[in-house]
Amino acid sequence: MKKRYRNGEVWDFEHEMAISGLGMGREVILGLDGGTTSTVCVCIPIVPFTDHLPDPPPLLARAVAGCSNHNSVGETAARETLEQVMAEALSKSGSTRSAVRAVCLAVSGVNHPTDQQRILNWLSAIFPSHVQLFVENDAVAALASGTLGELHGCVLIAGTGTIAYGFTSDRRDARASGAGPILGDWGSGYGIAAQALTAVIRAHDGRGPHTSLVCRILQELDLISPDELIGWTYADPSWARIAALVPVVITCAEAGDQVANKILLDAVQELASSVKAVVRRLELCGKDGEEHFPLVMVGGILEANKRWDIGKEVIACISKDFPGVLPIRPKVEPAIGAALLAWNILMKQSRRNALRS
């Protein structure tokens, strides 16, 4: 087995397990969900393919690390994070790379086949040749978390960033949004908060209407004047740091502020339009527009927020055009969705091999 040394020789625990005779038993699957804010890796045991998956799925270990989007932190830092979190999950589960049957890595920033191949080449240098490797965009894991490993329907992610991603039963796919803040991830946490900051500056200049966002955001950031927002923003314009202001926008909207309310209404339209674009391109609603299809809703922006429920408003907007939409709030996290996706692929392979023999 090829061995790599990074992050303080993260695989050294395998040597200790080999000496003690541990880590040689059950086969496992690693599922990873890598985003702009954090990266999660779970380790689940291989359930016999003749059985149905238990509900909830069994979980041997879970590990968390930082950002693994190479567009945000660079290729080297992203890979170090991914390697660290995989090693930690295996160590916690009492397993080694020899016990791994499959790895499904779903990470933001994987937007092209060249991205996938680059990561596959890297993973193949870490794991033994018998391990099956799958690399997807993080939206795929989010979809699988709602459909328990089946790739069919649409997922809407709205957290720091946003993306809509859909699959048909014959594996055709389509996506909308997800191009990052510069190219317009409007409706995301970053997009909502950035518009709020802009509204504060416009109000201060006299170019825009008065809004309670001015005093509430200054209070939140412990600033005295809107002029100080310029220094605060550009001192560290990270996406997650800006997006953390979304609760302030929601509070202002709930209190009746018209500027904040319009920002949220615009976000609803943007999020709904992303889903509609995917549904139309894949004809998930059927040719007559009436068929049912699952829509998995993932991300902090879509969670119920007191009276101003962005997720509820998005569903209402989509339902006007596609009454067959079936919203799903996942019971498991995307990292488990990635692991279940790998399990489903292995199960189908096992059934095909059984039919041939």
pLDDT in tens, 302-356: 987 678 999 999 999 999 999 999 999 998 999 999 999 999 889 888 888 777 7
Nearest 5°: CA angle at 119, between 38 and 61? 45
The phi, psi pair for 132, rounded to 5°, reads -85, 135
Q: Which residues of 1-11 are buried (b: 16+ CB within 10 A; e: fewer)?
A: eeeeeebeebb
Beta carbons within 10 angstroms of residue 150's beta carbon: 15
pLDDT at 261: 98
- Output the DSSP codes for 101-166: EEEEEEETT--SHHHHHHHHHHHHTTS-TTSEEEEE-HHHHHHHHHHTT---EEEEEESSSEEEEE
Residues 6+ apart with CB under 8 A from 250: 260, 264, 305, 306, 308, 310
The whole-angstrom separation of Cα 177 and Cα 246 is 19
265-289, pLDDT tens digit by residue?
Answer: 999 999 999 999 999 999 999 887 7
Residues 6+ apart with CB under 8 A from 211: 199, 200, 203, 252, 257, 258, 259, 260
Residue 320's nearest CA partner among 274, 272, 284 is 272
Q: Classify 293 as helix, strand or coil.
A: strand
The phi, psi pair for 110, rounded to 5°, reads -90, 95
Q: What CATH number matches the domain at 12-151+332-355, 1.10.150.530, 3.30.420.40, 3.10.28.10, 1.10.1200.10?
A: 3.30.420.40
Q: What is the largest CA-CA distance in the chain?
A: 76
E strand map for 228-289: none
Residues 342, 344, 348, 354: is their CA dihedral positive or negative?
A: positive
Q: pTM value?
A: 0.83
Q: Structural domain boundaries of the chain?
A: 12-151+332-355
Per-residue CA distances from 50 to 47, 128, 357 (Å): 8, 26, 16
- Are 264 and 311 in contact by the 8 Å Cβ rule? The answer is no
- Note down pLDDT in tens along the chain; length 357 residues: 444 444 448 898 888 776 665 655 689 999 999 977 789 999 999 877 666 677 778 899 999 998 888 877 888 888 999 999 999 999 999 999 999 999 999 998 787 888 899 999 999 999 999 999 999 988 899 999 999 888 899 999 998 889 999 999 888 999 999 888 888 788 999 999 999 999 999 999 999 999 999 999 999 999 999 999 999 999 987 888 999 999 999 999 999 999 999 999 999 999 999 999 999 999 999 887 788 999 999 989 998 767 899 999 999 999 999 999 999 999 899 999 999 999 988 988 888 877 776
Both tokens of 108, joined, read 């933001």
E strand map for the chain: 28-34, 39-45, 61-65, 100-107, 132-136, 153-158, 162-167, 173-177, 293-298, 325-328
pLDDT at 3: 44
The whole-angstrom separation of Cα 322 and Cα 143 is 19
